[in-house]
Chains A and B, each alone.
Chain A
Amino acid sequence: MHLTRLALTDFRSYAELSIELGPGVTTFSGPNGEGKTNLVEAISYLATLGSHRVATDAPLVRRGAQRAVLRALVTATRGSSLLEIELNPGRANRARLNRAPLPRPRDILGALRTVLFAPEDLALVKGDPAERRRFLDDLLAATAPRYAGVRADYERVLRQRTSLLKSAGAKSTLRGPAREAVTATLDAWDAQLARVGAQLLAGRVRLITALRPHVAAAYEAVRGGPVSAAGSVLRMCYRSTVADPGSDHGPDDQIPGLEAAMLKALAGIRDSELDRGICLVGPHRDELDLSIGGLPARGYASHGESWALALAFRLASFELLRQTREDPVLILDDVFAELDAGRRERLAALVVGAEQVLVTAAVPADVPGILEGAQFDVHGGLVRRAA
């Protein structure tokens, strides 16, 4: 699929913007802070309903404005569609697809799919486990939109259950009937947590199995050497707080088994949970372990190795998504500046065949020559097609 038009109102630094795009490579260049990332952030938001830079919507609305509107025209094999999202920080956002209002904004997911490479991706390797969980869940939702619902449900059950644990914890010396009452209500929420959590867990496990060969291949390609070389073997393993990692490959993906394992884990840890007032087991506490040459990537890998691994994750996402359906839109925000010449060339060669590639760069010379295509100058709040 590819975007043919992007229109923004009061999004980030743009009061009003409308640009026409086409398939193939398009490069946006201009000095630092002129609004290149703002552009691609908007596109990625239309695809994921989130920003890769901030957790809340407020910074996305232009200073002084009340709301932002994002519109994109997308051409896919199924035909073209018009996506519209209105950001109302503090209130409900609204989404329309082909002018029809959607009951929930998340119903728009799937109409546009993107894979975004950005400097922030380094956090995938160097950051907290939460970064890797978010990566998995975002990709899961991109491969099957129903997981956006599963994830939202899981987060809501978690909030409900945490709230219950907190209020029960406040009366920590609960005994007799009062304790039984809390226990009975907890049982009901445990059942929900296990039911929804097992679906999320199964999805993640399946995703990792599918992703593993792609990550290995992409890592090898970006590094420019066979991964089999000693000291460079890449391993990824899902470590669950719920199920025993049955093998190297982590827990299996059967929902009933995972649900039972979750219920068992919850029963085993209930007293600590009541003491501490937080949910201690479940997919929200799991980790995707990454190691290179037997050493944990986090804390051991070099800057360049970390970058290569982060890129490998994005490339693998792209390969996985294009395997089952048409190409997602590829977005490369400022990635070439960080790479040496060899890696730049190899990355460019890997992505050049995609249906649409959107590239941003402060220094146009950093972008390898094979990625030539349409050029836009981003400067002074304007985005103009370069002559």
Chain B
Amino acid sequence: MYEGVIQNLIDELGRLPGVGPKGAQRIAFHLLAADQADVKRLADALIEVTERVRFCRTCGNVAEAEECRICLDPRRDPTVICVVEEPKDVAAVEKIREFRGRYHVLGGAISPIDGVGPDELRIKELMTRLTDGTVTELILATDPNLEGEATAAYLARLVKPMGLRVTRPASGLPVGGDLEYADEVTLGRAFEGRRLLDV
């Protein structure tokens, strides 16, 4: 244990994903030893995101205004929606630079163990977006693991009466993996080979 403020910083860092107690300590002492201006920039960036970044009211992606950059972009194809679990997955799909449609971020996947059911995800919001008939294709790009598959199966059944074209990125995605960690080539190929979800 260290003095109050330092321990405080270590505790806060330790709560970040992927940072253990040892790592938290290392980062804390690195910051203490670093150039003040550098640390200040980091602190400012942290404050800025908490103050400025919100979630897009349409798609749930991170945004700096009411709506995100993608929802506001008139060149994006409004007839196709790609459904993903997290904002980081939007960034992953954007990297392939081939998808020209829009997104819908669910905020996770169905996982009863964690108490996450359809009501805990942004599924109602998705259904609302589908009512006016503009959208004709839904790409279900939830993670290629069990929870992602179950969520895709759930959504496919839910929208079935609407007669949309429902696809899921196919082969190439490492099973059991995170969409985020797939490289661009793999992800690109998976999007090309997306298959129709038959339910």
Contact = CB atoms under 8 A, between A and B. Distances in A.
Interface string B130-167: 00000000000000001101110110011000000000
A160 B147 contact: yes
A188 B154 contact: yes
A118 B117 CA distance: 45
B122 to A, nearest CB: 16
A187 B157 contact: yes
B8 interface: no
B112 A192 contact: no
Contact of B157 (A163, A164, A184, A196): A184
State the main secondary structure of chain B at its contact with A: helix
Interface stretch (A46-54, A149-157, A242-250): A149-157
Contacts of A167: 112, 115
Contact of B117 (A149, A153, A185, A196): A185
B113 interface: yes
Contact of A157 (B117, B118, B146, B151): B146
Interface residues of A, number: 20
From B111, B146, B157, name the one whose CB has the most chain A CB atoms within 10 angstroms.
B146
A354 B158 CA distance: 57
B110 interface: yes
From B111, B112, B147, name the one whose CB has the most chain A CB atoms within 10 angstroms.
B112
B18 to A, nearest CB: 13
Contacts of B153: 187-188, 191-192
B172 interface: no
A184 B112 contact: no
Contacts of B110: 185, 188
Q: What class of interface size applies to chain B in its complex with A?
A: 10 to 19
B111 A187 contact: no
Contacts of A192: 146, 149-150, 153
Contacts of B175: 149
B154 A187 contact: yes
A181 B113 contact: no
Contacts of A191: 149-150, 153
B165 to A, nearest CB: 20
Contact of A163 (B112, B151, B176): B112
A161 B112 CA distance: 7
Interface string A178-205: 0001001101110110011000000000
Contacts of A159: 113
Interface in A191-222: 191-192, 195-196
A160 B176 contact: no
Contact of B150 (A149, A163, A181, A188): A188
Closest 10 CB pairs of A and B: A188-B154, A164-B112, A163-B112, A188-B153, A188-B150, A191-B153, A163-B113, A192-B150, A160-B112, A189-B150
22 contacts: A153-B146, A153-B176, A156-B146, A157-B146, A159-B113, A160-B111, A160-B146, A163-B112, A164-B117, A167-B112, A167-B115, A181-B117, A181-B119, A184-B157, A184-B158, A185-B112, A185-B117, A185-B118, A187-B154, A192-B146, A192-B149, A192-B153
